[in-house]
Amino acid sequence: MFNENDEIKDLIKLPRVTAPPGFEQAVVSRLHRAKIKRQKVRKMEFAFSGVMVSIILIFLVFNQVFQKSEYATGSIGKSGRQEEIIPIVEPVNFRKEIMKKTEDPQTVYILEQVSDGLLQQAKF
């Protein structure tokens, strides 16, 4: 049987694994380049979002400035001069339109349970 000390002695005799020359520098430089790339991408994301927000704000501001009024403020009348147009809004009451044409009172149905038994279905 093997003893723990024998295993440790055998492991000590084996040569140590070493990285190839320049490996550590290559990994560190690759990590540094990746970090710089992430920072550039983040800056570009912020710049793009800022440009989009400014475009939306400019659109909203100019949309309000150049928006035409809903009604025309004037027109040319028969006399050849400009006349003012006054928009008229008239409320419409549809209540009379919906009511039935007959003046008879409306029918009211009262539903009562016909049977007293619990197991039978109620008839209406």
Which tokens belong to 42?
């983040």
Give the residue from 61, 62, 60, 86 showing the smallest Cα distance to 72: 86
φ/ψ (deg, to 5) at 86: -110, 115
Segment holding 75, helix H or strand E: strand 74-76
pLDDT band at 9 (very low <50, low <70, confident <90, very high): confident
Structural domain contains residue 46: yes
pLDDT digits (tens, 9 = 90+) for 62-105: 887 776 655 555 555 566 666 666 667 777 776 666 665 556 66
Structural domain contains residue 8: no
Distances (CA, A) of 14 to 6, 7, 10, 11, 17: 13, 11, 7, 5, 9
pLDDT digits (tens, 9 = 90+) for 41-53: 999 999 999 999 9
Domain residue limits at 43: 17-69
Give the list of residues 6+ apart from residue 70 with CB closer than 8 angstroms, or none.
Answer: 87
Structural domain contains residue 88: no
Structural domain contains residue 7: no
Provide the number of structural domains found in the chain: 1
Structural domain contains residue 53: yes
Which tokens belong to 70?
């809903």
Bigger pLDDT: 113 or 57?
57
